[in-house]
Chains A and B, each alone.
Chain A
Amino acid sequence: MNRISAVFESAKGPILNVYATAGFPHLGDTMTVLEALQEGGADIIEIGMPYSDPVADGETIQQSNQVSLDQGMTVAHLFEQLKDLRVKVQVPVLLMGYINPVLQFGVERFCQKCQEVGVDGLILPDLPMAEYESEYQEIFERYGLYNIFLITPQTADERIRRIDSVSQGFIYMVSSASTTGAKTGISSEQELYFERINQMNLKNPRLIGFGISDRESFLKASASASGAIIGSAFVKLLAHSSHLREDIVTFVRGIKGLK
């Protein structure tokens, strides 16, 4: 079974998915960050593949992408860094990024590499569903990769149902109409939206992302979904950390309410 499905089946509390930009704060930090996230208790890890033009991302993630690229990160180098991923990390790992670097690497070759190093799924926000179904689905599935789709407060019910039928693993529920890191906290209007989707009885579980930054917003979001995703708040911590491992473990434990 794909590790992502296994996590949702066995989870006791809300699931915490943390996003970290690869090669950030320093090019060689990728594996250190992943191991510390696992040690702290993250249930799923999303590794951001840096891109020069990340239109769905706000300033914090944009800048981390640029820093990583300036330090020499490439798709090929990332796979090199993840060579021993499954010796050290057991939690599910997703790669999140934009479609162009994947196209240039070669879609099939990319998926093959993902399977080789033990990546469980992909989040490619600018790969639309129709395109995925006609050109990519067969290849992704051949290499055991889940493709994670996004929904937003503006996504029509009918489209949510279609996305649900194509999805595997979970649906990434964007908490508000925004880029990443634009807002923090959860309003009562957002809670209504979370609950509305919760009532749809979708086949896939949902994780809520965008604007989740601390234990309070994590719990609020998890009340109407299986868990939540923290991105910009964690990247900010990485940018300012002087003791990477300790800081990450403390941060993750704090969100999960572990001692």
Chain B
Amino acid sequence: MNCRMTIRRLSAFQDKELAAPQVRQVELHLRECGACRAEWDALRDLEQRLLGLPPAAVDPFFSTRIMAGLRPRPAGKNRLLQAAAFAALFITVFLAGFFLQKSALDRQDAERLPAVTFTSVLLERQDLGLLTVQEDTLRQFTRKRP
């Protein structure tokens, strides 16, 4: 192995990331090449300096403070209850929408398309603050408008 290859592999050699045959090649080259050995010594010196930096102090109450700061997580059963509550809410909103549409249709003249009527009812109800309609849901209906 020549100097260029050795220098290129020196960092991985130091990090013990080379395969065994490459390790032997680097070691062999270092034994016979003074210039590369100087590079190797400089790398080792750098590592010593880096490891010589004082470690960050960990205060003894660190874990206590973490535990005090945790927000309780809903347990498994509670999560199931939450899901059930969301489902119930969804069904309620769906049924409400259905009956709103139905009552609106009863009042509107029969010529208007159902999709148009439904959208306009949604919009009207939203304007009145009676209903919150998701923007993208609304867009799906409005796109179908003639």
- Co-assembled chains A and B: no
Q: Which residues of B contact A (CB under 8 A)?
A: none
